[in-house]
Amino acid sequence: MRKGKAVGVIGCVFVLTAMLLSGCVTTSPPKPPLLPGQVDQPFSIHVDSLVARDADLKSKTYIIASAMQNVGDGDIQFKEFARFIENALSQKGYIRKNNKEDADLLISLAYWIGEPQTTTSTETYTTGVGYSYPVGWMWYTVPPQTHEETTTKTTYKETLVLEAYDLKDTSKHSQLWKTTLENVVYENANGDLRLVLPYMIKAGMKYFGVDSGGKQYEWVEGRDPMILEIRK
């Protein structure tokens, strides 16, 4: 009798141990706290990059300048965003110079937030099933009950354009490559350029000086460590 009780106790202990171990295996560790500049959401960035067919892409020294009419190189926000670009390009071996006499490339930077675009769509939902029933020698049909719902959606685009020109070609300053980055933002979402631009730049890093062959979509995690390198 005692032997049976002992076996039962051992069985219960085994089951509890298995349950605890199973819980340990399936429980995800807590996420580390967000660091300054990180967000707890991913970004889907559109990337389109072009390279001139006869471009000499060996040169890596450059100066950076604003391509925006009302934003000069001395603008404090431009300086911050130019630093983001510098940190990203350094990952590909590019070296920023202070004056064009020491550089082979002119890299122009432009960024903006587009005007809101509003679209309206209407969907029809079935709320009741139709049916038929006989009355005497005739059949009556009750059509399905439907409900229409109209949805209005407002979005706007955040765009960054980076272009590289050949400073050695003094007559033309021919364009060597161009990368366009776009982030579609929905109404009431966080569209702060200071927050989003590092994620856009991270999405475009591997395409700077590379032909993308058409528009690509890059997924960037909110906790991507490269964001901190770009922002430093």
User: Other C-beta atoms within 10 Å of 198: how many?
Assistant: 25
Of 79-88, 142-151, 188-197, highest mean pLDDT: 79-88
Stronger pLDDT, 192 or 87, i.e. the higher one: 87
Ranges 38-42, 113-117, 118-122, 169-173: which has the least confidence? 169-173
Comparison of pLDDT for 6 and 169, the residue scoring more: 169
Worst-scoring range by mean pLDDT, 7-11, 73-77, 189-193?
A: 7-11
| Long-range contacts (CB closer than 8 Å, 24 or more residues apart) made by 71-78 | 77/194, 78/109
| Whole-number Å distance between alpha carbons of 216 and 47 | 5
Q: Around Cβ 174, how many Cβ atoms within 10 Å?
A: 13
- Identify the band that residue 121 occupies on the pLDDT scale cut at 50, 70 and 90: confident
d(CA 112, CA 35): 26
Check pLDDT > 90 for residue 17.
no
- Going by pLDDT thresholds of 50, 70 and 90, the confidence category of residue 186 is confident
Convert the pLDDT of each residue in 52-92 to its tens digit: 988 888 989 999 999 999 999 999 999 999 999 999 999 99
pLDDT value for 33: 74
User: What pLDDT, on the 0 to 100 scale, is given for residue 2?
Assistant: 47
Domain ranges (residues) in the chain = 1-30, 39-231
Phi, psi dihedrals of residue 220, rounded to the nearest 5° = -120, 120
The verdict on domain 39-231 having CATH code 1.25.40 is: no
**Distance (Å, whole) CA 34 – CA 215:** 31
Per-residue pLDDT of 21-55, as tens digits, reads 455 445 567 777 777 767 878 999 999 999 998 88
The pTM is what? 0.74
- The pLDDT of residue 8 is above 70: no
Q: Is the pLDDT of residue 14 over 60?
A: no
